[in-house]
A and B are shown apart, each in its own frame.
Chain A
Amino acid sequence: MVEAINGRIAELTVAFTRRLASEMDMLEKFGRELEHSTADTAMFDHVSHVVHRLAGSSRVFGFGELTAPAQEVEALIASKAAPERIAAGTRQLAEDIRRSICS
């Protein structure tokens, strides 16, 4: 029984971590696009959705340290901050994710 529980938790954590890695790639790509002014509205919406989700769910899987930086990027996008500020926040979040996954 305990093994089954641990097994299911491990499965879900692996799935979450795998998704986190792909979100990290996406955030880095978004940061680059912002620097070259090529990010479109759909991309903004997608990133906004991803960071909102990250802010809410990362703690469930033991990545609570990502909550604050994700909330920060969400607030920057919501307040239509300057692209370079959003890019900086996004890069920082991607870096935080990398560190969390590797630790």
Chain B
Amino acid sequence: MTLVSIVKSERPEPELVGAGQEAHAARTDRKLIYLFDRDPHLTDLSQKLMSLGYEVACGLGKCDSDQFLAAVIHEAADPDLELTASLARDHKVIVLCESKSFEFKLKAVRMGVAALIQLPVDLIELEGWFSDFDSDQQVESKVLIVDDDDIVAEAYAFALQQCGLRTETLSNPLKTGQAVDDFCPDLIVMDLEMPEANGLDVAKALRLSRPNLSVPILFLSAEQNEQIQHEARQIGGDDFITKPVDLATLTDKISIRVSRARELRKIMERDSLTGLLNHVNFKERLAAEVGRSRRTGSPMAVCLLDLDHFKSVNDTYGHQVGDRVIQMFGNCLSGSLRSVDVIARYGGEEFGVILLDATPEQGARVLDGIRRNFSNCFQDTDQGPPTVTFSGGVCGLDDAATVEGLLGAADEALYEAKRQGRNRIILHSQLENP
């Protein structure tokens, strides 16, 4: 049995501003994957994963770290799923298998397997699971509690925190708008009767803002009047929980709601092919991040990337391969960049990236590292592996005053990269007449 550990530690990362301990800690979101195999083709898989930004190391039958993102086990290396069961108690386990009978699936479920992937391994599918596990780990669900009763609000918050949710409480409903902008909750729990403002009116005021239309609001009140409860649902309250309610019931309902809300938002905000943010939401995120960076004084790099000669990939290999190239590029970006960075499919074969706390120069270096590795990601097709490269344009906050200006500056730099022969990253500040 071969144990190959894939350590996502040497991904090209921006040198964060500030050389202290804090900056170092922010950088080390290390993602470790253990691969147990008996199949020589998995060596090739390891190399492909290296191209996606992972480091690959080999070992024998031991896990030298207890903190890893996932274990990937070939069924031949663990026919009775004993190793799988022992690892699945505390970790995500993916089993690579030839057979996918329903009986085998049931056995896998009983052993705690998180995913089954049929051999030969589809790298896009595998990386998709890694991304899901990573986002489960990285992003806490956020709940904003608006209740004038501060003791009760604290009790709700405390109970929700025990379920792994991040909370913020607000006793003055007049500050709800600002709190929603700053905290960006996945769900709002709102009391109905508050001295400063009625919960229904607060909800209506929130819904006047387009980005808040999709934030679920759960009313929580001792209100017995069914007409008022009906009105609360009508104006966009997603549910009405009647007090008194015990904490266990409340946390259960809220946890389920938050989880569904996040899934739904993922579908609404994300591009269906790559799972990355879509064009509209990328621009909204960019506007928010520009505002934040200007307030805090921290730098950021705005990047537009475009696959080179993509039309010829489609013409030579067909649209199916073309779609897989786009998926692979998305996986390569999400695998190689930090969880805090923003990645989007800007349109067609064009991608947008926001690197937070990174100067344009640092951003350009990071993207150049990804560019060098990218062409090694591809698996063979009938016509051999497609050779694909990409070009990129990068700018920073000093290059333009507005969101549209920044996108324009990145686009000008991208155009220059194409003009100079493609397969390169160009900074807007390097342009002769920017």
Q: Are A19 and B244 in touch, CB under 8 angstroms? A: no
Q: Are B195 and A60 in contact (CB under 8 A)?
A: no
What is the distance, in angstroms, from A96's C-beta to the closest C-beta of chain B? Answer: 15
Whether B151 pairs with A15 at a CB distance below 8 angstroms is yes
A8 at the binding interface (Cβ < 8 Å): yes
B193: interface (CB < 8 Å): yes
Number of interface residues of A (CB under 8 A): 21
Query: Which residue on B lies nearest to A51, using beta carbons?
Result: B222
Cross-interface CB contact of B158 among A8, A52, A58, cutoff 8 Å: A8
B245 at the interface (CB under 8 A from A): yes
* Chain B interface, number of residues (Cβ within 8 angstroms): 18
B247 closest partner in A (C-beta): A60
B152 within 8 A of A: yes
Q: A-B pairs with CB below 8 Å: how many?
A: 51
Question: A52 and B162 in contact (CB under 8 A), knowing A15-B151, A16-B151, A67-B244?
Answer: no
**B155-A60 in contact (CB<8A):** yes
B residues 142-174 in Cβ contact with A at 8 Å: 149, 151-152, 154-156, 158, 162
Residues of B near A64 (CB, < 8 A) are 244
Q: From residue B186, how far is it (CB to closest CB) to chain A in Å?
A: 23
CA distance A5 to B154 in the complex (A): 13
Residue of A nearest to B193 (CB): A52
Q: Find residues 222-246 in chain B having any chain A CB closer than 8 Å to their own CB.
A: 222, 224, 243-246
With A5-B162, A58-B244, A60-B246 known as contacts, the answer to whether A53 contacts B155 (CB < 8 A) is: no
Q: Which among B152, B162, B193, B221 is the interface contact of A60 at CB below 8 angstroms?
A: B152
Contact B222 A59 (CB under 8 A): no
Residue of B nearest to A67 (CB): B244
7 smallest A-B Cβ distances: which pairs? A56-B243, A56-B222, A59-B244, A57-B152, A55-B222, A67-B244, A15-B151
Residues in A lying within 8 Å of B, measured CB to CB: 5, 8-9, 12, 15-16, 19, 49, 52-53, 55-61, 64, 67, 71, 74
